[in-house]
Amino acid sequence: MINLELPKKLRATANQAHQAAAQIFRPISRKYDLAEHERPVELDTMASLVEGMTDGGGDMAGASGGRGDKKKDTGVRNGGNMASLVNVIETCWGDVGLTLSLPYQGLGNAAVAAVASDEQLERFGKVWAAMAITEPQFGSDSAAVATTAKEDGDDYILNGEKIFVTAGERCDHVVVWASLDKSAGRAAIKSFLVPRDTPGFDLVRLEHKLGIRSSDTAHFILDNVRVPKANLLGTPEIDTKKSFAGAMATFDNTRPLVAGMAIGVARASLEKLREILTEAGVEIDYDAPAWNQTAAASEYIRLEADWEAAYLLTLKAAWMADNKQPNNKGASECKAKAGRMATELTLRAVELAGSFGYSERSLLEKWARDSKILDIFEGTQQIQQLVVARRELNLSSSQLK
């Protein structure tokens, strides 16, 4: 039998994250939505909280990458992936953009944890890392990376261009995807941890966006950026049989986290919508059939059921990662489901709330704007469905495009 109740340890860290979301994120959510690109200085006060949660085995937004407790090699495990998931759900209930702005909890940290060696984890465990994959000529096709890394003595020289780098201005390091040998195709794509102050690593601009405005989104040019060989994450070996599975393993950790972000903001909208409907006298009866209730009540129950399905899929994907079970398909399933659910649910909440939902008197319209990116980054809805189809049909990327 599957027990879906969170263990005591995870409930405790999730409660800490919820308190931070309620007391720090929610009160400043609108402020930094309106003041795009202004640094949320209030997050500096959370440094000690994040540090304490990390030391206690939990992570606010995914820095652990699921390495977990090495002492426990048998039995069911709830490790770093599950801890990160339940916490990111709570912080994104507060604010998605502010969650993405948390120091030392960037998606690049999850990338480091997914592919770095134990020695690299020891050296890079305390950095704040953003992740730079997307380039002007491609979005979801990660195999199309054009940024190059040429060997030069004890270093690599990186040249290229990266766009849509979340937390790119505020972080201290960036995980950059680059190719060691373009003729070798996907297998030569590796990730490099690049300090932000490296000469030639130039910030071009910060993007103005529909949502998550409190999070900076950067555009970089890499002009002969010199990086030590020791900063290549994982192995430099080009194995054509494995393609770039090592680099892509990053997404098996980060996609459930993005799904968790969608679950968090969608739950915020559900709770607010329930409050509005209750105040309007709408009764929601779970024992009555949908056709025997008001349209608003019936629609609310449908949205809540959709949320629950996404939540359970995401818990499963994180649990599989912690228990060393292949979760590539599960990670894409939960990302696709949660991303689609959040965009629909938050927009429907705006519609059902009427003029109040469309105005800035509540955060409903902001949550609808914030949720859209969660169906796009870390792989679009269409890419997730393609990955799931390949796994179901046992076809390669060249066989099913």
Task: Give the closest residue to 60 by CA, choosing from 20, 33, 27, 31.
Answer: 20
Contact 154, 229 (CB under 8 A): yes
To the query of whether residue 271 is one of the catalytic residues in this protein, the response is no
Of residues 122, 169, 378, 392, which has the active-site annotation? Answer: 378
User: Residue 39 has what DSSP assignment?
Assistant: -
Task: Give the closest residue to 209 by CA, choosing from 100, 105, 107, 110.
Answer: 100
The alpha carbon dihedral of 54, 60, 66, 69 has a sign of positive
Task: Please report, for residues 274, 293, 295, 306, 310, the alpha-carbon distance to residue 279 in angstroms, rounded to integers and kept in the order given.
Answer: 9, 17, 16, 23, 27
Q: Give the Cα-Cα-Cα angle 251, 256, 260 (nearest 5 degrees).
A: 140
Contact 303, 270 (CB under 8 A): yes
Contact 146, 115 (CB under 8 A): no
Looking at residue 71, its amino acid is K
Report, in this order, helix, strand and coil percent for the chain, each rounded to 5: 55, 15, 35
Q: Torsion over CA of 231, 232, 233 and 234, rounded to 10 degrees?
A: -130
Helix (H, G, I), strand (E, B) or coil at 131: strand
Enter the tokens of residue 348: 């429907």
Q: Phi/psi of residue 32, each to 5°?
A: -85, -15
Q: Phi/psi of residue 224, each to 5°?
A: 55, 50
What b/e string do you get for 116-138 counting C-beta neighbours within 10 Å, with b at 16 or more? beeebeeebeebbbbbbbbbeee
Looking at residue 138, its amino acid is F
Residues carrying an active site annotation:
378
